[in-house]
Structure 1
């Protein structure tokens, strides 16, 4: 009985860790894409945002 409970708990923990890791990775990926877009806008913007006299 104790072994079965241990097995179930370990499976749930592994699943949770994998799920949280995946969510974190997705969030990180989105943030990275946003950052890259900002960098791209700064480098390759067709018109300067601030006009210097």
Structure 2
């Protein structure tokens, strides 16, 4: 890893920490909502597939 890459990683981590510190609560709410939506869509998809496989053996 070159010096430029190291600096990029450090600055990315710094930016990430800053963003995390600034929008922690808002971000957490957003991520939780996103995760719930994702889980719900996966569950619905699995359920639909299961129903389809039972309907058409």
TM superposition score normalised by structure 2: 0.59
Q: Superposition RMSD on alpha carbons, in Å? A: 1.0
Aligned length: 36
Higher Cα Rg, which structure: 1
Unpaired runs of 5+ residues, structure 1, are 37-53
Unpaired runs of 5+ residues, structure 2, are 1-21
Q: Which has the higher contact order (CA 8 A, sep 6+)?
A: 2
Query: Whose helix fraction is larger, Structure 1's or Structure 2's?
Result: 2
